[in-house]
């Protein structure tokens, strides 16, 4: 299977869709946010810096992201495709990624642009809770996304938590950074003929069906 990149504003549902696709196609889900949250737990200068950037809604430096990502992509489970969630976030990262791909003899694959209006994304942020253990995402406000048992992960039974950067203030900053830095990637990948646009206004299952039927029809599997 070809690799998939997700581009989307914060809370468009890219983490949820990425996770569903990984389960369906048995490929790894690589979220740079998750890699960074892991690295932020290390009690050193780098860990402290990452924590500060994430909690203020600012980007972490490209050098750190690229180092973590290159290391992850060399693991065996990435040999038959993977889903990138949260990367690239700017043109510089996209160009550096293509250099990494050349070095590792991998192809660019498909880019899925998941679009959502700011108001809906903000509502999703307010209610979003995640499982810190398996990364599953739920929403306390959106009925279809609630966990079966309040505050508990359906998949692994772990306690759900709210992300430190999921508040309306940090969301505003993350959204503005997305518009300035990440949105130009849409034209960048469109010009390479690898972009597929999906609107994320429907339920997660409908959005998943739309993406899956595109993948199945496009002979990218
Ligand atoms: P996410 O889980 O994708 O929403 O990412 C959470 C936070 O991690 C972002 O708000 C950034 O601070 C940081 N981050 C994740 N991926 C990247 C990236 N590719 N480049 C820079 N910062 C990132």
The string of pLDDT tens digits covering residues 39-76 is: 999 999 999 999 999 988 889 999 999 999 999 999 99
* In the predicted structure, residue 142 carries a pLDDT above the cut 60: yes
Q: Which atom of ligand 1 is nearest to the CA of 10?
A: 4
Residue 162 placed within a domain: yes
> Cα-flanking dihedrals φ and ψ of residue 82, to 5°?
-165, 165
- Number of structural domains, the chain? 1
Residue 185 placed within a domain: yes
Domain containing residue 158: 4-208
* In the predicted structure, residue 184 carries a pLDDT above the cut 60: yes
Bigger pLDDT: 165 vs 182:
182
| Stretch 179-202: mean pLDDT | 93
174 is catalytic: yes
Confidence band of 221 (pLDDT split at 50, 70, 90): low
197 is catalytic: no
* In the predicted structure, residue 219 carries a pLDDT above the cut 70: no
Residues with CB under 6 A from ligand 1: 10, 31-33, 36, 53-54, 57-60, 65, 86-87, 89, 93, 165, 174
Residue 220 placed within a domain: no
Nearest by Cα to 100 from 134, 135, 133, 63 = 63
Give, rounded to a whole angstrom, the gap between the first and last alpha carbons of the chain: 4
89 is catalytic: yes
Which among 51, 89, 106, 124 is annotated as catalytic?
Answer: 89
Over residues 78-135, the pLDDT tens digits come to 999 999 999 999 999 999 999 999 999 999 999 999 999 888 888 888 899 999 998 8
CATH number of the domain residue 183 falls in: 3.40.50.300
What's the predicted TM-score (pTM) here?
0.85
What is the Å distance from ligand 1's center to 96 Cα? 16
Whole-angstrom Cα distance, residue 159 to residue 110? 34
Residues contacting residue 43 through CB under 8 Å, at least 6 positions apart: none
């Amino acid at each position: 299977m070809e690799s998939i990149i997700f581009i989307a504003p914060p809370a468009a549902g890219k983490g949820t869709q990425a996770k569903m696709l990984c389960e369906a196609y048995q490929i790894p889900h690589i979220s740079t946010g998750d890699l960074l949250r892991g690295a932020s737990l290390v009690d050193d200068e780098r860990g402290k810096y990452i924590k500060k950037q994430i909690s203020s809604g600012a980007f972490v430096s490209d050098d750190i992201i690229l180092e973590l990502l290159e290391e992850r992509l060399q693991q065996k489970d990435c040999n038959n495709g993977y889903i990138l969630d949260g990367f690239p976030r700017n043109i510089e990262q996209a160009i550096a990624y293509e250099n990494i791909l050349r070095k590792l003899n991998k192809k660019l694959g498909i880019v899925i642009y998941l679009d959502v209006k700011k108001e809906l994304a903000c509502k999703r942020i307010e209610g979003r809770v995640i499982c810190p253990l398996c990364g599953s995402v739920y929403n306390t406000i959106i009925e279809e996304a609630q966990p079966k048992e309040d505050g508990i992960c359906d998949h692994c039974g772990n306690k759900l938590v709210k992300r430190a950067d999921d508040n309306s203030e940090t969301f505003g900053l993350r959204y503005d950074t997305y518009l300035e830095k990440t949105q130009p990637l849409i034209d960048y990948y469109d010009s390479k003929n690898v972009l597929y646009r999906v609107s994320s206004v429907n339920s997660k299952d409908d959005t998943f069906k739309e993406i899956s039927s595109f993948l199945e029809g496009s002979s990218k599997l």
